[in-house]
Amino acid sequence: MKFKKMSDIIFDVLVYFIAVVAFVITLYPFLYIFSVSLSDLDAINRGEVRFLPVGFDFSGYKEVLTDKNIWVAYGNTIFYVVVGTTCNMFMTIFGAYALSRKTFGMRRFFNFFISFTMYFSGGLIPTYLLITNLGLYNTRLVMILPVMISTYNMMICRSAFSAVPDEMMESASIEGANDIHILTMIYVRLITPTLVVLILYYAVGHWNTFFNAMLYLKDDHLQPLQVLLRRVLIQSSQELLMDSLTVEQEKRALVSIQIRYAAIIVSTLPILMVYPFLQKYFISGIMLGAVKG
Amino acid sequence: MEKKVLKKRLLKAARRDKYLYLLFFPVFVYYIVFCYLPIPGVVLAFKEFKLGSGIYGGSWIGLDNFKLFFSSVYSYRIIRNTILLSVYTLLFGFPIPILFAVAVTQIRHKNFRRFVQTCSYLPHFISTVVLVGIMKNFFAVDSSGLVNNIIIKLGGTRINFFMDPSWFRTLYVGSGIWQGFGFSSIIYISAIAGIDPSLYESAQVDGITKFKEVWYITLPSIIPTIIILFILQLGRIMSVGFEKVFLMYNPAMYETSDIISTFVYRRGIENSDYSYSTAVGLFNSLINFTLVFGSNALCRRLTNTSLW
């Protein structure tokens, strides 16, 4: 009896240890970035910033928020997110609804037709040449049209529609409703939680898109945030420092790191703010995708 | 007579489902244009690409591109790097979400549990650019690098992480675990939540320890989920994503970091060597197709479930 208690205590200690380690490892980088982005430059230089901000210096944010390029990129990203996600949702719902209807002719063929694209694609170069030939190169449309549907997301949506009992649809069609009525007035409302998850997935996808933008957009005024962030964070370009030529040389490196961390906060905050509110939908969303529809 | 009946029935069905076809039409067009039209473009792999004559012009060169690729020094290197990145990710990254899910579901304080879970999903939503940006700055060699400052404090010497090929795989796999473990654990957490509570209750009546509870009840119950996910991951062993490697690497690290997709990008897009890189890409696509198809079929046979 005593042995059992001892082993259960060890077990609990282990469980809480794993949980605390996981949560420290996940959160610490965010906390550190946040703290450096706000701390006094001298304190950063002396290595005093470990957890919470030391002193206060808003100049990193001032540089980021007064930079014209950031605002252009931010606006572009918001445009791609809003327009892109709207198109995504319409197309996904249309396709998923049709494929979930058991009476839909050639349903098996169409299901194969879309699943095949998850196994095989033309690859980078043929796709690149096609998109260029279609005249989409260096246009805003290239950020929206080629990624209008995620097959995986459409399958999640299809599973959700399939789970709606057939009686719903039968009673509605006896009343004289056609498929459009049934879809917009009944089905869409019944699967709202799934649709919320899909909106989140698509929106985060657009927000984080980097590769397509780098590949197909040449002009700066079309570039989304992630391409600018790459220059600032990874290639360590000093472009956000252009206005502050007055800053002395030695301080520049410090200001530069503060600017970079401020840029991370500014560009990531919207996502981090929204997602805890949607957390309760995740599990159903992922589970639906894992089960064959 | 029978034909007429059939025709009538088909017409009736078409009239009834006309809105379904209307809804499906744009989806169909999307798939044709953006998913199927590029596929015939793979013939480029067997042709010489000439500017002006388009994808389908140019003369046939057979398997020359493939021969060139497999006889070059790159083929071994990029195939090895691709597979090794996958294998290490699987080896170190696969067990952690399971461990985390088991631990988290054992936490009795409900609020603390939810808090830890919510935090663990966070990194999943940051972009690859920001992830690599954080890494490059944390692991920077100068005095702004958090990690090197800690190493100095502990009495070590500075490491130039992003110029040293031997660190690439560790950084890639480690950051992948950091970003993904929480989100990957969701599927295990819901599998654990689905276990019949009466199993635990009767075990507690028998006075079983918690270690044994996990070993004899929790883990066996989620074994099917573990197997499915493992097989499906195996199927993706040759398809390492382009973005993260591309953002992390530089010529000094090609030895360990250059993978098939980055090689195709450099040769194809940067050097405009379309025909050759299409061939390399096609080789990769065919292997992926076989692996993903095979693993999916295996999953279906073993457990009656598959991803699609």
What does the pLDDT read at residue A287? Answer: 57
**Distance between CA atoms of B103 and B91, rounded to whole angstroms?**
20
- From A180's Cα to the closest Cα of chain B, the distance in A is 7
Tokens of A292: 């064959």
Q: What is the DSSP letter of B54?
A: B
* Cβ burial, residue B201 (10 Å; 0-12/13-18/19+): exposed
Which single residue is written with the structure tokens 């890639």?
B172
Give the pLDDT band of residue A291 (cuts 50, 70, 90). Answer: very low
* Residue B133 counted as domain residue: yes
Judged by CB atoms closer than 8 Å, whether chains meet at B128 and A210 is answered as yes
- Of A40, A33, A149, A156, the C-alpha closest to A84 is A149
**Distance between CA atoms of B148 and B154, rounded to whole angstroms?**
10
* Residue B66 counted as domain residue: no
Task: Please answer whether residues A276 and B119 qualify as being in contact, where contact means their C-beta atoms are separated by less than 8 angstroms.
Answer: no
Residue B9: closest C-alpha in chain A? A105
Helix (H) or strand (E) holding B208: none
* Residue B62 counted as domain residue: no
Prediction pTM value: 0.89
Q: What is the DSSP letter of B213?
A: H
Task: Please answer whether residues A95 and A111 qualify as being in contact, where contact means their C-beta atoms are separated by less than 8 angstroms.
Answer: no
Instruction: Report the residue of B129, B141, B229, B278 to disrupt the A interface, i.e. the one with the largest count of A CBs within 10 Å.
Output: B129
- Secondary-structure percent of chain B, ordered helix, strand, coil, rounded to 5: 75, 0, 20
Angle (deg, nearest 10), helices A249-290 and A192-208: 150
Higher pLDDT, A15 or A248: A15
- Of B151, B123, B149, B71, the C-alpha closest to B244 is B123
Full domain range(s) for residue B226: 77-303
What ipTM, to 2 d.p.?
0.89
Tens digits of residue pLDDT in B238-290: 888 899 999 999 999 999 999 999 999 999 999 989 999 999 999 999 999 99
**Distance between CA atoms of A118 and B293, rounded to whole angstroms?**
10
* Cβ burial, residue A111 (10 Å; 0-12/13-18/19+): middle
Tens digits of residue pLDDT in A127-144: 999 999 999 999 999 999
Where is average pLDDT lowest: A41-45, A87-91, A206-210?
A: A41-45
Checking if the pLDDT of A290 tops 50, the result is no
Which single residue is written with the structure tokens 């790159």?
B74
Judged by CB atoms closer than 8 Å, whether chains meet at B281 and A178 is answered as no
**Distance between CA atoms of A262 and A23, rounded to whole angstroms?**
23
A58 touches chain B (CB under 8 A): no
**Distance between CA atoms of A47 and A59, rounded to whole angstroms?**
18
- From A195's Cα to the closest Cα of chain B, the distance in A is 18
Q: What is the pLDDT along chain B (308 residues), one digit of tens a residue?
A: 567 787 887 787 777 788 899 999 999 999 999 999 999 999 999 988 877 767 777 788 889 999 999 999 999 999 999 999 999 999 999 999 999 999 999 998 889 998 898 889 889 999 999 999 999 999 988 877 889 989 998 999 999 999 999 999 999 999 999 999 999 998 899 889 889 989 988 888 888 888 999 999 999 999 988 988 898 888 888 888 899 999 999 999 999 999 999 999 999 999 989 999 999 999 999 999 999 888 888 888 877 655 54
CB-based contacts of B107, cutoff 8 Å, min separation 6:
A15, A16, A19, B113, B116
Residues in B 93-112 with any Cβ partner in A closer than 8 A: 99-100, 103-104, 106-107, 112
Judged by CB atoms closer than 8 Å, whether chains meet at B42 and A130 is answered as no
**Distance between CA atoms of A73 and A266, rounded to whole angstroms?**
12
Four-residue CA torsion sign, A160, A271, B179, A72:
positive
CB-based contacts of A75, cutoff 8 Å, min separation 6:
none
Instruction: Report the residue of A106, A125, A127 to disrupt the B interface, i.e. the one with the largest count of B CBs within 10 Å.
Output: A125
* Residue B180 counted as domain residue: yes
Tokens of B211: 């270690």
- Of B120, B30, B19, B11, the C-alpha closest to A150 is B30
* Residue B16 counted as domain residue: no
A165 touches chain B (CB under 8 A): no
Give Cα separations from A74 to A161, A244, B175, B206 (angstroms).
35, 21, 26, 60
Residue B194: closest C-alpha in chain A? A287
Judged by CB atoms closer than 8 Å, whether chains meet at B42 and A180 is answered as no
Phi, psi for B60 (deg, rounded to 5): -70, 135
Residue A91: closest C-alpha in chain B? B27
Tokens of B58: 């140019």
Residue B177: closest C-alpha in chain A? A26
Task: Please answer whether residues A258 and A36 qualify as being in contact, where contact means their C-beta atoms are separated by less than 8 angstroms.
Answer: yes
* Residue B269 counted as domain residue: yes
* Cβ burial, residue B230 (10 Å; 0-12/13-18/19+): middle
A285 touches chain B (CB under 8 A): no
Residues in B 174-233 with any Cβ partner in A closer than 8 A: 178, 181-182, 186-187, 189-190, 207, 209-211
Tokens of A61: 């944010």
**Distance between CA atoms of A275 and B125, rounded to whole angstroms?**
8
- From A130's Cα to the closest Cα of chain B, the distance in A is 6
Checking if the pLDDT of A3 tops 60, the result is no
Judged by CB atoms closer than 8 Å, whether chains meet at B132 and A15 is answered as no
**Distance between CA atoms of A183 and B20, rounded to whole angstroms?**
10
- From B120's Cα to the closest Cα of chain A, the distance in A is 6
What does the pLDDT read at residue A292? Answer: 38
* Residue B126 counted as domain residue: yes
Judged by CB atoms closer than 8 Å, whether chains meet at B277 and A124 is answered as yes
Task: Please answer whether residues B104 and B113 qualify as being in contact, where contact means their C-beta atoms are separated by less than 8 angstroms.
Answer: yes
Tens digits of residue pLDDT in B66-100: 999 999 999 999 999 999 999 999 999 999 999 99
Tens digits of residue pLDDT in A63-84: 888 888 899 999 999 999 999 9
Number of domains chain B contains:
1
**Distance between CA atoms of A211 and A215, rounded to whole angstroms?**
6
What does the pLDDT read at residue A249? Answer: 61
Judged by CB atoms closer than 8 Å, whether chains meet at A234 and B36 is answered as no
A137 touches chain B (CB under 8 A): no
Angle (deg, nearest 10), helices B95-105 and B110-121: 160
Contacts of A215 in chain B (CB under 8 A): 269
Judged by CB atoms closer than 8 Å, whether chains meet at B17 and A226 is answered as no
B23 touches chain A (CB under 8 A): yes
Judged by CB atoms closer than 8 Å, whether chains meet at A234 and B129 is answered as yes
What does the pLDDT read at residue B169? Answer: 96
Judged by CB atoms closer than 8 Å, whether chains meet at A233 and B136 is answered as yes
Residue A33: closest C-alpha in chain B? B134
Judged by CB atoms closer than 8 Å, whether chains meet at B116 and A91 is answered as no
- Of B5, B27, B296, the C-alpha closest to A107 is B27
Pairs from A182-189 (Cβ < 8 Å, separation ≥ 24): A183/A93, A183/A97, A183/B23, A187/A97, A187/A161, A188/A93
**How many residues in total does chain A contain?**
293
CATH code: domain of residue B197: 1.10.3720.10
B53 touches chain A (CB under 8 A): no
Task: Please answer whether residues A216 and A3 qualify as being in contact, where contact means their C-beta atoms are separated by less than 8 angstroms.
Answer: no
- From A196's Cα to the closest Cα of chain B, the distance in A is 16
Other CB atoms within 10 Å distance of the CB of residue B64: 16
Tell me the Cα Rg of chain A.
Answer: 25
Give the pLDDT band of residue A244 (cuts 50, 70, 90). Answer: low
What does the pLDDT read at residue B225? Answer: 87
Which single residue is written with the structure tokens 């070059």?
B72
Tokens of B239: 């398809």
Residue B134: closest C-alpha in chain A? A233
Task: Please answer whether residues A98 and B20 qualify as being in contact, where contact means their C-beta atoms are separated by less than 8 angstroms.
Answer: yes
Task: Please answer whether residues B39 and A121 qualify as being in contact, where contact means their C-beta atoms are separated by less than 8 angstroms.
Answer: yes
* Residue B164 counted as domain residue: yes
Which single residue is written with the structure tokens 């002006």?
B52
